[in-house]
Amino acid sequence: MFENKDNSNTSISNLGEFGLIDHLTKNFKIKQKSTVKGIGDDAAVISADSEKEIVVTTDLLLEGVHFDLSYVPLKHLGYKAVIVNLSDVYAMNAEPTQITVSIAVSNRFPVEALEELYAGITAAAKIYNVDVVGGDTTSSTTGLIISITAIGTVNKGEAIYRSGAKENDLLVVTGDLGAAYMGLQVLEREKEVYKVNPNSQPDLEPYSYLVERQLKPEARKDISGLLKELDVKPTSMIDISDGLSSEIIHICKNSKAGCNLFEDKIPLDPQVISTCEEFNLDSTTIALSGGEDYELLFTIKTEDYPKIKANPHLTVIGHMTDQREGIHLISRGGTKIPLIARGWNALKEDE
């Protein structure tokens, strides 16, 4: 048994996911010369040879925590499980090449159900041109658990970290934000309606974009090539999995910089805006804290702005400042509001 000499226990929820990672990994020291980048970015970077580096990342998805099988089809779940890992590889400016797939499953799942799960994994592997090269299978007493590790390659010295942003760099985001979270809200609402009336048929057509962003997200495999075409190399980059505010804070913390994010620049799909109104939710809050968008957030030098300003896939949403200025949201009315990470936290205590 582990001994706690002073009988004082710290709740995991007090630290949150990122605080817990920092706390548990603070004593890990890098010993291998081949370890270029350890814990603390979207993926680890390992030296392969004189020309290439390998990136490695892993994610764990638990039934009842990360997904609800009452409205998530197993095929979509398999697809999404791959995508969330590939997004981290793309955030390193790398190209994914292989994945391993490990699952723990209870005997309430027939073989046919697992075939559906693996059909989604197979579809994602085919579309994103990665090989499934291994994994593990074991039993579970708590439902379905999926762990996928993604491996990729990047030319030596071309990996992009969270730590390279400088004062006056522009903050850029791909695509639009908040749709995945609102898709989840729609699905959760329809689940509650179904509980009351199992004969009801949900009409998801008005929310098709939102539901697709939640159930079948895509990783931004196009961005690396696009930026090369535009002759733009980001100074820092991260994928948006836990909400825009959390990811901005990650970049600021790792780059030792501040940031001004402009509310009126945050890209929102019209379906997000209208559905937020329907649910009486603030669309800015949803974009900041919703998560699961799997877009890329990056910084570029100011002189690169003319190269990207007309591109429909990219939006400048703010700029980096001196660390002492702090991290702020500039509201539509011009008010400066400290930015706080209120993104999704799997380790919070149930209320």
The per-residue pLDDT for range 194-204, each reduced to its tens digit, is 888 888 888 89
Average pLDDT rounded to a whole number, residues 70-95: 97
Q: How many domains are contained in the chain?
A: 2
Report the alpha-carbon distance of residue 197 to residue 202 in Å, rounded: 11
- Rounded to an integer, the average pLDDT of 131-151 is 95
Give residue 346's pLDDT. 47
Same structural domain for residues 146 and 193? no
Q: Residue 7 has what pLDDT? A: 58
The pLDDT score that the predictor gives to residue 79 is 98
Q: Give the domain CATH number at 195.
A: 3.90.650.10
Q: Output 40 or 344, whichever has higher pLDDT.
A: 40
pTM: 0.91
130 shares its domain with 251: no
**Whether residue 285 sits in one domain with residue 177:** yes
Q: So what's the pLDDT on residue 212? A: 97
Same structural domain for residues 145 and 188? no
Collect all residues with Cβ–Cβ distance below 8 Å to 291 and sequence separation of at least 6: 180, 181, 240, 241, 242, 243, 246, 343, 344
Contact call for residues 248 and 171 (beta carbons, < 8 A): yes
- The Cα 232–Cα 316 span in angstroms is 14
Show which of 129, 155, 181 is a domain's final residue.
155
Q: Which residue has the higher pLDDT, 162 or 15?
A: 162
Compute CA 329 distance to the chain's CA centroid, rounded to the nearest angstrom.
Answer: 21
pLDDT value of position 39: 77
Q: Are residues 142 and 188 in the same domain?
A: no
Is 185 a residue whose pLDDT tops 50? yes
User: Which is it for the CA torsion 204, 206, 207, 208, positive or negative?
Assistant: positive
Retrieve residue 98's tokens. Answer: 């292989």
Q: pLDDT > 90: what percent of the chain? A: 78
Residues 181 and 316 in one domain: yes
- Using a 10 angstrom Cβ sphere, with 0-12 exposed, 13-18 middle and 19 or more buried, the burial of residue 343 is buried
Are 311 and 183 members of one domain?
A: yes
- Distance of CA 335 to CAs 101, 249, 264, 282, Å? 47, 19, 12, 17
Give the CATH number, domain containing residue 95: 3.30.1330.10
DSSP state at residue 273 = H
Both 189 and 112 in one domain: the answer is: no
Give 184 or 29, the one with higher predicted confidence.
184
* Mean pLDDT in residue range 248-276: 97
For residue 64, what are the domain limits?
Answer: 30-155
Same domain, 181 and 305: yes
- 9-19 pLDDT, tens digit per residue, is 877 777 766 67
Rounded Cα–Cα distance for residues 87 and 59 (Å): 11
Domain-located, residue 8? no
Name the token pair of 135. Answer: 């994994």
316: in domain: yes
Q: Tell whether the torsion through CA atoms of 333, 337, 339 and 340 is positive or negative.
A: negative
Task: Please check the confidence at residue 80 and state whether its pLDDT lies above 70.
Answer: yes
Contact between 302 and 152 (Cβ < 8 Å):
no
